[in-house]
Every structure is written in C-alpha cells, then in structure tokens.
Amino acid sequence: MTRHATITRRLALIGGAAAGLSFTGRLSAAELKTGESGVVAAVTSGSTLRLGDGLSVKLAGIAVPKRAEAFGREAREGLAGLVRGRPVQLSYGGDPRDRYDRALAQLHTMSPGGEPDLWVQAELVRLGLARVYSWPDEALDTDALYRIEREARAMGRGLWADPAYAVRSPDPDPLAQHVDSLQLVEGLITSVADVRGRTYLNFGADYKTDFTVTVAKSHKRRFKSFDLSALEGARVRVRGWVELINGPMIFANHPARIEVLN
C-alpha cells in the first residue's frame, strides 16, 4: 500500500470515529476563563487554527505531531474535520497568549443552541492524533485527558500504532537515540536526590550515564502538593523533551508531566 493510500485510509477511519463518538467533558479547573468565540476559517496545523476575525489559536495542553513527522498530516486533517467552518469557544487556563501572540486556549465546538459540545483537545487525544502535554502554570483537567490517552494507547489508535511514538524504557543507550524529541518514558525510580535545591529522580545507579528526571529549584513551587521525595521506588510515566546531560535527562517543570503508576 502506498503512503498516500495509507493516509487516505487512516483519515477515513478518523472521520468515521469522529462522526460516531465525541467527548463532551468539561474542564474541571475553577480557574478556567471564558475567552473569545468565532468561526474557524482555516486550520494551519494539527494544533493551530485561525478564526474568521483573524485571531490565531494554538491548542493548549496537548502535543501534536508536526507536519513533517509521522501522523503530522493526519493530525492536521483530523483537526480540520472537527472544527473547520464551525463556531468555537475559547477558554483560558493560563497565559492567554504565547510568544507568537497566538491565543493559547482550550477549545470547544458550539452546538446549534450556542452551548459548548465537543472538547477538541480531548477528541484529538481520543483519536490518537495528539499526546497530553501540560503547560506550566496552566489549569487543566489532566486526569481526564490521561484516561482518554491511556485508552487510545491501549487500542493502538492513531499515532500509538506507530513505533515512533512508543512509550520508552529508561534504558539510557536506546533512549539516547531520541535526544531532542518529545518522549514518554516509563520506569522505576531507584532513588531521589536533592542537590542545591534541584531534585533528581534517578532511574539507575549511575547518574553520569543513566536516565534522570530533574525538577529545578525555580519550578518547585508548582510541586507543592506533589511529594517528590516519596517517589523513590515508584513506577512512573514521565513525558518531556529528552536532553543529553551526562545520561539522557528530562526536565519536568509541571507536576502533571509525571504520572505515578503504583
């Protein structure tokens, strides 16, 4: 099967799923503020769109494959199928604008009666066209999104059927091959160390070569209700950009990027 035929088939499956099922959950964060509304005039990527009045919108709380990446085209077409030409409502759980002056928002499509009916981020996650990726200082119902993501991953929907998006082991040698990319890594925290205010979650005995997750001192305020020292011996799934500092490392600047599995 050619790549074009494969993409066409995937989009047909996505369209059928979107027509048959929808996620109508509301964000539970009390801090969420109602923003602008309008009709979607154009979809520019799997996570960006433009309203009829010219406002550019970036979907917050998720990470979507880029156009050149596996499932990048499917993600864009999937978002277009959900929102293009439809009235939508923006909601803000954090900074309302990003550095490109795009609205950084949660998005709901609107029913004919003018009520929010489809949480677009959740639907993209459900279809396997996006991964959950919380943003610092953002109010977001990550518990709901993680439940949806786990189901999509278990069913092998969308990007979860592609090895490029597999959940990685903390084994440092294979993980080092994915430096400078967004990854999900699952494993056991063998020790927790605090060095000059910075917390290190170690996944091996040798911090110079093994995988580590680190929380900077400046980000500790976001972890007030999250006892990092108690994570020793816990199995977790962490998500973030892999960097090579001694061994592979992920900098966690938001507690929702660490899922405690046991």
Residue 141 has pLDDT above 90, yes or no: no
Asked whether residue 140 falls in the same domain as residue 15, the answer is yes
Asked whether residue 31 falls in the same domain as residue 154, the answer is yes
Q: What is the pLDDT of residue 116?
A: 87
Which two tokens mark 1? Answer: 């099967």
Convert 17-47 to b/e letters by CB count within 10 Å (16 or more is b): bbeeebbebebebeebeebbebebeebebbb
Q: Which of 146, 161, 176 is the last residue of a domain?
A: 161
Asked whether residue 101 falls in the same domain as residue 126, the answer is yes
Asked whether residue 175 falls in the same domain as residue 157, the answer is no
Contact 186, 261 (CB under 8 A): yes
Q: What is the pLDDT of residue 129?
A: 98
Asked whether residue 211 falls in the same domain as residue 254, the answer is yes
Asked whether residue 235 falls in the same domain as residue 119, the answer is no
Asked whether residue 194 falls in the same domain as residue 85, the answer is no
pTM: 0.86
Q: What is the pLDDT of residue 138?
A: 79
Q: What are phi and psi of 161, to 5 degrees?
A: -85, -5
Residue 81 has pLDDT above 80, yes or no: yes
Task: Please give the Cα distance from 149 to 152 (Å, whole number).
Answer: 5
Domain count, the chain: 2
CATH number of the domain residue 256 falls in: 2.40.50.140
Strand partners, 252: none
Residue 14 has pLDDT above 60, yes or no: no
Asked whether residue 114 falls in the same domain as residue 34, the answer is yes
Asked whether residue 25 falls in the same domain as residue 59, the answer is yes
Q: How confident is the model at residue 31 (pLDDT cuts 50, 70, 90)?
A: low
For residue 108, the enclosing domain spans 3-161
Q: Which of 143, 161, 179 is the last residue of a domain?
A: 161
Q: Which of 126, 141, 161 is the last residue of a domain?
A: 161
Residues in the chain: 262
CATH number of the domain residue 41 falls in: 2.40.50.90
Strand partners, 51: 40
Asked whether residue 58 falls in the same domain as residue 139, the answer is yes
Asked whether residue 146 falls in the same domain as residue 252, the answer is no
Q: What percent of the chain lies above the pLDDT cut of 90?
A: 70
pLDDT in tens, 152-174: 999 999 999 999 999 999 999 99
Average pLDDT over residues 213-222: 91
Asked whether residue 39 falls in the same domain as residue 104, the answer is yes
